[in-house]
Amino acid sequence: MYLQHFGLREMPFSLTPNTHFFLNVGSHHEAMNLLLVGLENDAGFIKIVGEVGTGKTLLCRQLLNNLGDRYVTAYIPNPHLTPAGMRTALAEELGLRVHRNAGQHKILNLLSERLIELAHQDKLVVVIIDEAQAMPEETVEALRLLTNLETESQKLLQVVLFGQPELDQLLDRPSLRQLKQRITFSYNLQPLDQASLDRYVSHRLSEAGYNGAQLFNRQALKRLHRSSRGIPRLVNILCHKALMVAYGQGSQVIGADAVRRASEDTGDALTGFLWQPVYWLGVPVIAVLLLLLAVSGGAS
């Protein structure tokens, strides 16, 4: 496609959460620091919430890469499991061989013995759950009960929950108030601001092998930020399409027009001028305008 045209080794804006492209900047930098400090201080539960496309899974995988040898991790990428399924998945992640007909009491005993064994080895066990908003309520409660396992000096299990805003709604249920009280650290991922977006685009191009002059000009980057609202997944989609447009035109520079055309071809991208102040001011401008029109119409 456009790799050879722009001197790239690989696709710089793939949607696959590849830690090779992770940029420790802005909201992701703050979230990573919170995670590392929280886990080092036996946080119990840590919650990271972010809208769709803000890079939760990439942050999750980067955390797995950053944890040192002292940590033993259990990664659950699809937690839509029954309580029994969650306990079995956790046991398998911790290296236990669980017979398909093993009862839940047996699995709990195996888990307890394994966690105590790892604690005696001075290991910290961390359960990392992606898409945590998908967990059934009873599975969340089963997870909380597992964290009751502890020695006299430390908990045997820490849990990191990555999820969409629906995770907060789930944890607001009265039946889950005990777990909510155990969340020691929490963080809400934010979209990229303009400066972070500029670094993000440059970083991904560089990691993909680009070493030429600035590929996206200033007007393109501004339009990219407006259209994507700073959401990394949308940034990737728009950059990929803008590169395709520029390649089709034989251009060596991506301008605002290429980003505009990419935005018009992307359903979730903002293309109209009116939407930009609405997003950044954080006020219901359209609602106000409609109210004024209604009042004006009634007065006439």
CA distance 155 to 133: 24
Mean pLDDT score, 126-144: 96
Percent of the chain topping pLDDT 70: 90
Q: Given 3-state DSSP classes, what are the helix, strand and coil percentages for the chain, each rounded to the nearest 5? A: 55, 10, 35
Closest CA to 198 of 225, 159, 167: 225
The predicted structure's pLDDT at residue 29 = 96
The predicted structure's pLDDT at residue 272 = 56
Beta strand segments in the chain, E? 45-49, 71-76, 124-129, 158-163, 183-188
What does the pLDDT look like over 54-72, one tens digit per residue?
A: 999 999 999 999 999 999 9
Domain coverage including residue 165: 42-188
Residue 296 has pLDDT above 90, yes or no: no
Mean pLDDT score, 203-225: 97
Evaluate whether 59 touches 198 at the Cβ level (below 8 Å).
Answer: no
Within a domain: 146: yes
Length of the chain equals: 300
- In the chain, the N- to C-terminal Cα span, in Å, equals 59
Within a domain: 23: no
199 and 175 housed in the same domain: no
Within a domain: 225: yes
208 and 85 housed in the same domain: no
222 and 107 housed in the same domain: no
Residue 294 has pLDDT above 70, yes or no: no
Residue 156 has pLDDT above 60, yes or no: yes
pLDDT-wise least confident of 47-51, 58-62, 65-69, 281-285? 281-285
87 and 144 housed in the same domain: yes
161 and 104 housed in the same domain: yes
114 and 197 housed in the same domain: no
The predicted structure's pLDDT at residue 42 = 87
Within a domain: 179: yes
97 phi and psi angles, rounded to 5 deg: -95, 110
Distances (CA, A) of 226 to 91, 165, 191: 46, 23, 11
Within a domain: 57: yes
179 and 48 housed in the same domain: yes
Number of domains in the chain: 2
**Comparing 270 with 178, which gets the higher pLDDT?**
178
The predicted structure's pLDDT at residue 295 = 45
Closest CA to 6 of 146, 233, 201: 201
Mean pLDDT taken over the chain:
89
Residue 83 has pLDDT above 80, yes or no: yes
Give the single-character DSSP code of 21. G
Whichever domain contains 238, its CATH number is 1.10.8.60
**What is the DSSP pairing of strand 183-188 with strand 71-76?**
unpaired
Residue 195 has pLDDT above 50, yes or no: yes
184 and 48 housed in the same domain: yes
CA distance 69 to 50: 28
106 and 182 housed in the same domain: yes
Within a domain: 275: no
212 and 84 housed in the same domain: no
Task: Kindly state the tokens that stand for 141.
Answer: 């409660």
Closest CA to 223 of 242, 204, 209, 210: 242
CA distance 117 to 67: 20
pLDDT band at 288 (very low <50, low <70, confident <90, very high): very low
Whichever domain contains 95, its CATH number is 3.40.50.300
153 and 205 housed in the same domain: no
44: phi > 0 → left, psi -120 to 50 → alpha, else beta; which?
left
Within a domain: 129: yes
Residue 130 has pLDDT above 80, yes or no: yes
CA distance 281 to 112: 51
CA distance 209 to 205: 7
What does the pLDDT look like over 216-273, one tens digit per residue?
A: 999 999 999 999 999 999 999 999 999 999 999 999 999 999 999 999 999 888 875 4
The predicted structure's pLDDT at residue 19 = 96
